[in-house]
Amino acid sequence: MDSKKQEQIKKQAKQILDNFASALASVEKEVKEDEGVERDEFERKEGDGNEREEDFKKNLLKNAPEKDDDFIITDRGNWK
């Protein structure tokens, strides 16, 4: 493709993008008043680290995509 044709394509693309940007500028943004989560307590209560949550292991394994009884199955380095 010759450079004259490339320049023409670049100008057309820029014009299309500029027209789209100006059309978007005229669109009003929708504001939602009820976004977010309302909670009674903002932060969780920290313990001294010696207590155990009884269902912690069960909940952790429930969220794991692959598991085998008491173990999470994953490939080494898969989380990178």
Does residue 63 belong to any structural domain of this protein?
yes
Token pair of 61 as six digits: 């394994």
Query: Whole domain around residue 72: which residue ranges?
Result: 53-80
DSSP 72: E
In 3D space, the residue among 60, 59, 66 whose CA is nearest the CA of residue 74 turns out to be: 66
DSSP 77: T
Does residue 75 belong to any structural domain of this protein?
yes
Q: What is the pTM of this model?
A: 0.36
Q: d(Cα 27, Cα 21) in Å, to the nearest integer?
A: 10
Does residue 62 belong to any structural domain of this protein?
yes
Does residue 29 belong to any structural domain of this protein?
no
Give residue-wise pLDDT tens across range 6-32. Answer: 999 999 999 999 999 998 888 877 766
Which strand (E) or helix (H) includes residue 76?
A: none
When comparing pLDDT for 5 and 52, which is higher? 5
Does residue 27 belong to any structural domain of this protein?
no
Q: d(Cα 24, Cα 16) in Å, to the nearest integer?
A: 12
Does residue 76 belong to any structural domain of this protein?
yes
Token pair of 64 as six digits: 């794991």
Q: For the chain, how many structural domains are there in total?
A: 1
